[in-house]
Homo-oligomer: A and B are copies of this chain.
């Protein structure tokens, strides 16, 4: 299990290769990568991500450990960035390895649903029109009820 919270970009290809190499014959590997998306008006200049140093690592580790236990994962990876990111940059990734594809998929969705609403990150959008904190969505909270 590997959990990284960092300001620097990560290398998706390298992380994916490393994870696949170490997965130990699990059969199924799922990755999810989040990318900063421009807004509909095309005016997003940056996304600033604030976090809670100390608690973030702890929360991510707990979420990843829950996923490993619940979905019988061989391995799990979580990388989440903070700081100032521009459209097109990768914000975060998760990877899961399991013997059965359904478990690998479910675990990755579980990780994402929990990261969205239970890991102490806050996003702020900087646009041509001004700056604003991204509001949490009711649907993100509702997504946790599946698990």
Binding site for B on A (CB under 8 A): 12-14, 16-17, 20, 23, 25-38, 87-88, 90, 99, 101, 104-105, 108-109, 112
Q: Are B108 and A30 interface neighbours, CB within 8 A?
A: yes
- Chain B contacts for A14, CB-based, 8 A: 13
Q: Are A37 and B32 in contact (CB under 8 A)?
A: no
6 residue pairs of the A-B complex, CB under 8 angstroms, read: A13-B13, A13-B16, A23-B35, A25-B87, A27-B37, A105-B109
Do most interface residues of chain A lie in helix, strand or loop, or is the interface mixed? mixed
Q: Which residues in B have their C-beta under 8 angstroms from that of A88?
A: 25
Q: Are B16 and A38 interface neighbours, CB within 8 A?
A: no
Are A112 and B108 closer than 8 Å at their CB atoms? no
